[in-house]
Amino acid sequence: MELEKTLQMNTLFSFYGPLLTKKQQEYMQLYYGEDYSLGEIAADFDISRQAVYDNVRRSEAILLDYEAKLHLVEDFDHKQQALDKVREYATEKYSTDSTLLQLLQEVNYEPKREGK
């Protein structure tokens, strides 16, 4: 369950992270991205463990709320599955059409992340 939540939060963070405050981004990146403990983050920022915990929980709620309203991750997953089916079909039925296969390889749905 914990791994599933970590994967979910990392995915939500990749889509909505730039909408969080700088401090929320730092805590979420350290906690979920780099597997820091609440205590380690608290020590790095010279604040209480409870303050980190509250900030992380609040950030999680914000990310979940964004997804509930905007559905970007859900839409991304749906489009990715459809694209995978098209690639599979094209590979099976049009394996000699190198232009089509190359064009399908160029289609890439990736969330834009800040700094990239």
Q: Determine the topology of domain 2-70 in CATH.
A: Arc Repressor Mutant, subunit A (1.10.10)
Please give the Cα distance from 98 to 83 (Å, whole number).
17
Proportion of the chain in helix, strand, coil states, percent, rounded to 5? 80, 0, 20
Write the pLDDT tens digit of every residue in 17-72.
999 999 999 999 999 999 999 999 999 999 999 999 999 999 999 999 999 999 99
Q: What are the extents of the domains in the chain?
A: 2-70, 73-106
Please give the Cα distance from 69 to 21 (Å, whole number).
19
Helix pair 72-93, 49-70: axis angle to 10 deg: 60
Q: Which of 70, 72, 41 is nearest to 54 (CA)?
A: 41
pTM assigned to the model = 0.81
Write the pLDDT tens digit of every residue in 64-98.
999 999 999 999 999 999 999 998 999 899 989 99
At residue 116, the pLDDT reads 44
At residue 102, the pLDDT reads 86
